Structures are given as C-alpha cells and as structure tokens.
Structure 1
Amino acid sequence: MPSSIIYKAIPDGYPIIGEHMEFVTREIDIENFPLVDGEILVKNQYLSLDPYIRSKMRNPEIKANLSAYKIGEVLDGYGISIVVKSNNKNYQVGDYYYTHVPANAVSGIECLAKEISKYKVHESYFLGLLGMPGMTAYVGLNKIGKPVKGETIFISSALGAVGQVVGQLAKIKGLRVIGSAGDDSKIKYLNEELNFDGAFNYKTCNIDEKLKELCPNGIDIYFDNVGGEILDVVLNHLNNNGRVVSCGMISIYNFKTPYGIKNLFQVIKKRLLIQGFITSDHYQEIDLFIKEMGELIEQGKLKYKEDIVKGIQNAPEAFLNMLTGKNFGKVVVKIFK
C-alpha cells in the first residue's frame, strides 16, 4: 500500500516522530490513476535523507534559499524512481530516473531531472557519490577550496555523505587529509579504508590539541560541514590565506540559540576566505561532474559508504539518527524492503 511521511508541526529542537512528522498510508489505484498529457507515474525506489531537510522544518516567515514545508505536506528529498505509467513519449515504463521526489511510494510527476538507466553503477549512487552530495563535494573543493598539491585540508563530519567524497578527491589531488567524526568506528574507517592521513573523534578529545598534533604546519583548507565550536577552533589553526568551504552547519540546526563564534578576528588577521555555496547554482556542470567522477569510479579510486535503511516507515528514525550522528555513511532509504 502506498505510504508517505507527513510534516505535522514545526520543531523547536530535534524533530519528534509522531509530533512533527508521521508515517501514513493511503490507497492509490495505479491502473486507473489519471494522467494528463505529459505526465508520468513513478514508483519511488530510494529516498535520500539529507540535513537540508531539517532546515525546511521552520516557520515559513523565515526566508531562505529553500522554501519551508507547509503543515500537512509530504516531506521530500532526492530520490530514485521507476516509471510505472506514462503519458509522455519521452519516458518509458521501466526506466529509472534520478529526481526530486516526495517521501512516499508513488508520485505523479510532470518531468524528471536525470535518466540513470544507462549508467553502470548502483542506482543509489545517484543519491550520494554521483548525486547532490557528491557534486557538493566536487564544487566546494574545486571552486572554493582551490586545492594545491601539498596543502593540508581538514574535513568535519568526514564520513558523512559529502565529507567522505571531499577527502578522497583531496587525496587524489595530493593533499594531506585530516578528518573528524563522532564515533571510533568511523575514525577507523577513515584511516584504514579511505587512507586519511589522520582522523580523530571530536567527542572524546581536545579538538585544539588534536589539530596541533595532526596539522603541525597549520590548515590551508577547512571543509566545514558542522559549524559551531569546531569552526571556532579551526579559525585559530588556519594558515594565512586559508579557505573555509562553508557547506553545512548541522551542529546548530536543532538549537534556538546557536553557538557564537569568538575567533572571527582571525579572518582579518590571516586574510581568510569563508564562503558558502548552493550546489544547485552549479548544475550546469553536472555532466562534467558525472563524467569525471565516473572515470574515477571505473579506475577504482573512489569508494562510497552508504547507510541503507529498509522500508519507508523507518525513514523518520533514520532521519533523526542522521541528525544526531548515529548513521555510518550516506543515509538512503530503500522504500520497499
């Protein structure tokens, strides 16, 4: 039976299942589902869970680049879908596509973003390594980080959907790569599987002392996925003309009063660049991105750790686990077990 995740109320802190989001089921007659000219009906196979979803759970009066969810709306995200009915000559039944979908089992969509049937990788990779997170890493590192061989890069949330790609691309470019995560098993994976030059558990150590130890010559690029206290500490370790790629601030998404940065004078003193970006501003480069990343995958130079959760009914819990760092890799929901 088709099912959905419904947005129920604006959370003050971490969302609560049943209070702020809810799993519901509904009847859909696929065979007799009406389609106007140009429409198709797709069955959603995979759903990507990403931190930006939390930023949409806000008061709609607060303006941002992404519109706020409306109460009663189906939560959405990037997904992999298969066409089950078509009234559009450009889309054939059985084709797989990568698109932005609501968090439910069946959707009526006018058009789709990217056909993936022709690519020889697992479909879920288009939600991570070859999807928005991978392109976020690609754009942020190359456009803002502007890496130079021999430099040192530090990556927070280094085994997240974006961080693990940044680290591997940086290694390929000849950088010294240091990362942080919040679990010892993640640190082991970064060091042993992704060949980071160093990594540490920020929850169990003194961040300042660890950066002194692992980055004795300072940091040239900081790929920031968390904001907050770690950003504040890193500012003291950046070299002159260092670059901060401001990708995310997951450490403050669930708090009314965010951490106040105290070391901003370093921006002037060290001539630092701190720049945020929106990946969709660079989608004109998606074909080049997929080509270059596809070649690296074929050459065996890229790995990608996924945390696949089975069943759409488990999406709310998986989303909370991601926000609290309990996931191990890119969180993807396989909608049908």
Structure 2
Amino acid sequence: MKKITLILSALFIIFGGLAGCAAKDGGSEAKSASSLSANEKVKLTYFSWDPSQEEALGEMIQKFQEENPNIEVSMQSYKPADYWTKISAMAASGEMPDVFDMSSGYIDEWASKGLLANLQTWIDRDIKQDDYFTSIFDAVRYPDKEKGDMYAFPYAWVTTVLYYNKDLFDQANLSYPTEDWTWEEFRNAAKKLTIDTNGDGTADQWGFWFFGRYAQIEPWLYQNNGDILNPEKSQFEINENGKETLKFLTDLTTTDKVSPAPKDMKGIKQEDIFPMGKAAMWVDGSFMIDNNRKVIGDNFKWGMTSVPRGMMTSGIKG
C-alpha cells in the first residue's frame, strides 16, 4: 500500500476538521493527490484527542471506507493529557500521522514550521461555502487570518458556559441563572450558596469553583470588554476592564470567600469539583459536558447558561 502524507478532501469532510501532515518533499501535496488512480490502495493514520468519541468516529470511518474501498483509515485515540506529548514528539522526529486533531491556537506555530499541509486547494475544490459558518475558517488560516490559506478544517465549535446545580439552587430557594445575569447577581447567589454546615469556619458547600484555567478566565474578560494583550496580540498589555475582571475573579476566593482556593481541593481533579456536588456553579468549556454527565449521573439535576455580564458591557454575550 502506498502511504501518502496529505489529507484527502473526502476524508476531512467526513472527519469534520482536522490538520493534515505536510508532505516531506516540501509541498508536493497537490501533485501526489492528482497522481492517485481511483483503485490505488491508500492507508491513512488518524490521531484523535478524545477517546470518548471513538465509537462515533469509528462509525464514520467505516462508512467512509465503504464509500472509498481503496482507502484504509487507522485511528488511534489518546487522552488529552497524553495527546500533545505524543504528537509533539512525533513532530520532532518527523514521523507524523496523516490526519490529526489540532487546536486553532497552534495553527500559526505548526504551519510556520512546515508541519501542516496547506489544504486550500481541496477546500476550494470540494467545500460548499454555504454549508458552513465560514467566519470560523479564519481561525485556521496562515499567515494572515483574513486572507491566508487554511491549514486545517474546523470540525467543532465550542463555547464557555456557566454550569449550575439545580438541586442546590432549589434548596436555597433561588431562581436559576439566566443569560441576562450580571456579575452582582452571580456574586449574591454564590454567597447564599456557600454554606458552612458544621460551623467549623470552613465552607462545606461552595457557591462557585474557580481554578484559573484559560477557559475560566477569558469569558469573564470578554463579558467585561476586558483584554490582557496589546492590539497586535504580541505581548501582555492589560486594560482597565481587564484589571477589574481579574480583581473580581480573585475576590471570589480571597474576599467574598465563595470559591475554595485550588490548594484546598488538592487530590481532586479540577473538572470534578462541580460534578461531585462540592460547588453550586462553575464556568468552563462546553467540552466538559461529557465529563459532567459521567460524574454526576443521577446524583443531581444541573443546567448551563451564558457567563454573567460584566459591569462594563451592554448585553455582550461571550
């Protein structure tokens, strides 16, 4: 079987949005693709960063192979904690998988190093622009985010949300959070949901859980017109709204005491604090939904809504 180091348009349409390994000869992807005959055997390797999607991806791969019997796809899945270590080591050794999951945050770095194939030729040929929210294409363009070529194809659109424990809200006789919630409404609810049940001076139930990951900070900044980078996004430069945002988040732990300090939750995965029922609210990515479902099970009812609006915004939704 001939193994090619490029991404075929039919494959990345099925997979949604992935990066393709650049050809080792420095840019002969189009020539290699056009030289393939309809019956020529091709074997592709695909790396996924989400083992929980193995079954669904396997079904798509099976369907794709039935429609393209000359192409065999071998999939390998890794836990997120291991994925980047594995893929980075392979990149350093020059032995990359043909197709792999890629974060938009790494597109510029990996494309500049020649690790990603330029997919623009196949996207122009095979993708119907009207079928997609094309504004998200800019995230995978290089080197210019408006006019550059695409070095990956988006397949997942995630957002950041406020998760909340409905049972704890019901017990406190509080209305559930809404997309119009302000920071002050959020903080007041968090205070009422922080409870010291045994009177030892330490909360046994927290109103909120703030760990400090990027997905737990950025949405609050956006909801307050805050920024921590200069306009060129090349260096740290925090504006006044950004300072206000970081102070608000810090105060939740140090002043309002509605969130535990991360050191006090040592030994528990940060993503399990909310689903274990230790905190009534939590802000993180929609990619945490699956973990919530697994850990919470039938233990309590929960919901999610928009991150509360900051003091300097006028209905901006993050």
Q: Specify if TM > 0.5.
A: no
Which has a greater percent of helix? 2
Larger radius of gyration: 2
Per the normalisation by structure 2, the TM-score is 0.32
